[in-house]
Amino acid sequence: MTIDRGKVWIVVPAYNEGSIIRNVISDVRSEGYRIVVIDDGSADDTGKHAFAAGAAVVRHPINLGQGAGLQTGIEYALSRGADYVVTFDADGQHRAREIARILRTMVTAKTDFVLGSRFLGATTNMPLRRRLLLRAATAFTRFTTGMKITDAHNGLRAMTQRGAKTIHLRQNRMAHASEILHQIANSKLPYVEAPVTIDYTDYSLAKGQKISNSVGILIDLFARRLHR
């Protein structure tokens, strides 16, 4: 079975990405996919750059966070008849050519979710502190969800239409990365991981999650789980 790329929507939440977003969109479009950029209340010309590069653009009037951007994008893709939805970060750390590989994995594994893993794949210029933080986040997620995963905070994911309909993100900020895994676990739909490459640049590291904020997110999520 081959996937019709016209039925795949790539969802890119973006906030103040400036001209960086042009390169991301160009790479994705060169692979033949439709792309929607959620301009999450950017104060620069992110939306204009995205539209000029050929993406559909949905704008939040104020900054709501990446989780809200993903939810808006997923809903937009489903409303346009997407059979498959792929989430993709806007900071240039993903490689567009790897989208095809995770979609092939979805077909061959007959699964509803494919989660990218840098620890099954590769990284370039990854700081040691970031590696240790991600390992801790993954251990936390494995403990709280029972999921057998190796990478808990990878922005490159694919889902079928059925899988996408089970995602209802309420954590608007960076805690969405853990929340989406909890929802996948609760859906009882099949998932697998696939190796991907993450390219760390000065820009993507500056845009990334701070260590102090990440610790706070873990504590908050654990507290919410205890009070259910």
Full-model pTM: 0.90
Span 46-92, pLDDT tens digits: 999 999 999 999 999 999 999 999 999 999 999 999 999 999 999 99
| Domain residue ranges of the chain, discontinuous segments joined by + | 5-226
In this prediction, residue 228 carries a pLDDT of 47
**What are the φ/ψ torsions at residue 192 (nearest 5 degrees)?**
-140, 165
Of 92-106, 160-174, 178-192, the one with minimum mean pLDDT is 160-174
According to CATH, what is the number of the domain 5-226? 3.90.550.10
Q: Provide the terminal-to-terminal Cα distance of the chain, rounded to the nearest Å.
A: 42
**Integer Cα distance of 39 and 59 in angstroms:** 5
